[in-house]
Amino acid sequence: MRKKHGIIMALLCMLVFVLTACGGEKSTTAPAEKDTLVVADGASPTSLDPRAANNNVSSRVMVQIYDTLVEQDENIQIQPGLAESWEQVDDVTTVFHLRKGIKFHNGEELKASDVKFSLEAEKASPQTSEIMEALKEVVVLDDYTVKVITEYPFAAILNHLAHPASAIVNEKAVKEAGESYGQHPVGTGPFKFVEWQSGDSVTLEANEEYYKGASSIKHLVFKNVVETTNRTIGLETGEIDIAYDIDGLDKIKIAEDPKLNLVEDLDLSVTYLGFNLRKAPFDNLKVRQAIAYAIDQQPIVDTVFQGAAFPANSIIGPKIFAHSDKGIKYQQDLEKAKILLAEAGYKDGFKTEIWINDNPTRRDIAVILQDQLKQIGIDAEVKTLEWGAYLDGTARGDHQMYILGWGTVTADPDYGI
């Protein structure tokens, strides 16, 4: 997710559990092999170019198409990826040795020049530059050896190179496709791109030459199913095999269904209420503090997330090293909120907007916030935008308040903050 747009994120901030549901009998017997796996998400990707999209929905598809130099395992430990080995030469220099014989989906062999092109393009893109902010130079030593140099000692370089935005693309394919590359991606990953039906689905097929071995699943389909309830219904009917971002009420329903499996884990991300600090009245600290004191997060935890979240006082979650629980903890205090508003020059409150994308969970959060803010005289209209328009609008700074998520997906606090 994007972060550097003059916002503050820690007033309404909840750590959320990852809720992913899977169809299939809860049995110890091996399931019958399927030719096609259908995955449902709550939105469509904005692009399948790793330089052009840094959001969960796009990344879930791209990690099947692309590989990175190094990877993170389920314990968030760095493992070899396209680079079979590496060594740190000095405080700012790491040399990577590529696996030989790896083919892109267009038949081109992976070379060090593709790595240089990919990482430098990542840094140059406004969508992903923050991930490679420390990068100074990428030097090709030979076809299978590349040197990565940072501007300063950067301990998290391997974590950032494992990020989906650091995926290695084929230079030739990118240049041939031009501006349409995001709709015709070419990677080295376990699945090849087949088709993108805008607003509906993305279809991939197994890469039979994948260096880790071909998948037993021959086709992978990512479907856009906006409503959480419809994703759950799809699981129940067997039309969907995996569904992401299950909300609290459906969580209970799925957990009680013997045909379905609920995968639940503490996420590396938070859901937050952000402000545009470049616009009045949110450039006033007392206004932001007043809003913080007007909010009671517990009803959101209890009703929207059905207990699958808890209030956070930091954007760095407990699974991330250097996490601290000593941040400011705002408790609802309406009188204090009204006093702060008056001191800021807004005794009678003001009108504003809360932006959300077409996500039912964020809609429900926004409605609760809308009611709570009314108690101190703030009239907040909830405005729903399509996912792509939402990201573009917040990037331009058109918003006032908005609800979004931010994940420390590198598992290093440098990225989270």
Q: What is the pLDDT of residue 309?
A: 81
Could you tell me which CATH class the domain 56-191 is placed in? alpha beta
Summarize pLDDT for 388-405 with one digit per residue, the tens.
899 899 989 999 999 998
Q: What is the pLDDT of residue 360?
A: 84
How many other C-beta atoms lie within 10 A of the C-beta of residue 42? 25
Please give the Cα distance from 1 to 404 (Å, whole number): 8
Q: What mean pLDDT do residues 212-238 have?
A: 94
* Contact predicate 12/297, CB 8 Å: yes
Regarding the domain delimited by 13-17+267-416, which CATH topology (the fold level of the hierarchy) does it fall under?
Dipeptide-binding Protein; domain 3 (3.10.105)
Mean residue pLDDT across the chain: 89
Q: What is the pLDDT of residue 15?
A: 52
Higher pLDDT, 43 or 383: 383
Percent of the chain residues past pLDDT 70, beyond the cut: 92
**Strand pairing of 401-407 and 350-357?**
parallel
Using CA of residue 18, residue 188, residue 49, residue 76, what is the dihedral sign? positive
| 3-state secondary structure at position 276 | coil
* Residue extent(s) of CATH 3.10.105.10 domains in the chain: 13-17+267-416
Please give the Cα distance from 4 to 203 (Å, whole number): 32
Summarize pLDDT for 28-71 with one digit per residue, the tens.
333 456 799 999 999 999 999 999 998 889 999 999 999 999 99
Summarize pLDDT for 269-321 with one digit per residue, the tens.
788 999 999 999 999 999 999 999 999 999 998 888 888 788 877 777 777 77
First to last CA, the chain: 12
* Residue extent(s) of CATH 3.90.76.10 domains in the chain: 56-191
Bond preceding residue 311 cis, omega within 30 of 0: no
Please give the Cα distance from 311 to 35 (Å, whole number): 42
Q: How does DSSP assign 8-61, residue by residue? A: --SSSEEEEEEEEEEES---SSPPPP-SEEEEEESS--S-S-TTT--SHHHHHH
Q: What is the pLDDT of residue 107?
A: 98
